[in-house]
Amino acid sequence: MTTSLPTAEQLGALQRAVNLAEIEALGRARLDQNALDYYASGANDGHTLRANREDFSRLQLRPRMLVDVSGVDTRTSVLGLPLDFPVGIAPSAFHGLAHPDAELATARAAAGMGSVMTLSTFSNTPIDGVGQAAAGRLWFQLYLLADRELSREIIAQAEACGARALVFTVDAPYLGRRETNERRRFALPPHLSAPNVASRETLAGVETDTGSQLTNYFQNLVDKTFTWDDLGWLRAQTHLPIVLKGILTAEDAELAVQHGCHVWVSNHGGRQLDTAISSIAALPEIADAVAGRVELYLDGGVTRGTDVLKALALGARAVFLGRPALWGLAAGGEAGVRRVLELLRDEVRLALALSGRQNLAGVGRDLLRR
């Protein structure tokens, strides 16, 4: 298992960082333009990308006073897996653009912090290596491929490598138009591949004269015919819990429950349908529809411990980080991702205490101004 250790300068900068915005600045500074464009881009004009953050700031907390908060407890669980605090790593493609250790570093950091990593179908690292690094704290994200047999093989491999849940991304039959990637012809550098779905040779053969390499490859890869009626096929391929990632309406949340699936509220980091509702704005109606029958998660715009509390107050069991983990990875590999998680864990604990809540069970809608 390879490890590229951060320099003393990188470690010092990470330790001096006091919030996720400062980690983001460190990470951005270490990325080349190709990688930065890919990680930072949103769809079209970026309205949904911005709303994911801005809508958190519009929610106001109602703290209670004179509560014994000498022993605040941030622990929870997701699908039976204990977490030290209610934050996991969302699936993001191509961690190798940020750091040579790629998904291995992210998995080690998540495991070491008592969190959980969701590995993308479009990882730069094979599933088996990440499974070892994750030490039992691994979920696997699936794009349902037009080649059902290949999908079946990927699912079986994820199970064999220790994945504890199958996260099926439902909001990407096509990739949203990320104009920066199209304009600058995003492509993976020659030393990277997507071993779950494409070799270096395959990707090298994808043309970029008309835009993003990923978009051009993706358009013929994913099954665009898959509907709710096909979820029975997916269920037959795995014994793992299935989580549907990309749900934004009460109607689809109800269908997910009817099909025995857990629900992940997400708009793909603002990278799919621009002007779609933000994740946190969509959460209340979805929580009402789910009504506790399945577990409910959220990603999109989480950068503060108070954001975590707001999501939990509106019904999420845990939140997941996309870009913040990538900024940490770029800033210092495993140590950078770990620092992101440490900062957020400490902010969650402090926000709980200052809200007058002793544990996560005390976080409900009464915490928020109506």
Q: Is 268 a catalytic residue?
A: yes
Among 332, 367, 353, residue whose Cα is nearest residue 24: 332
Between CA 90 and CA 77 the distance in angstroms is: 16
Catalytic residue among 95, 99, 262, 268: 268
Q: Are 298 and 279 within 8 A, CB to CB?
A: yes
Phi-psi region of 347 (alpha: psi -120 to 50; beta: other; left: phi over 0): alpha
Burial 141-150 (b: 16+ CB within 10 A, else e): bbbbbeeeee
Strand partners for 139: 118
Q: Are 368 and 61 within 8 A, CB to CB?
A: yes
Indicate the angle between helix axes 323-354 and 33-40, nearest 10 degrees: 50
Instruction: Provide CB contacts within 8 A for 362, sequence distance 6+.
Output: none
Supply the residues annotated as catalytic: 268
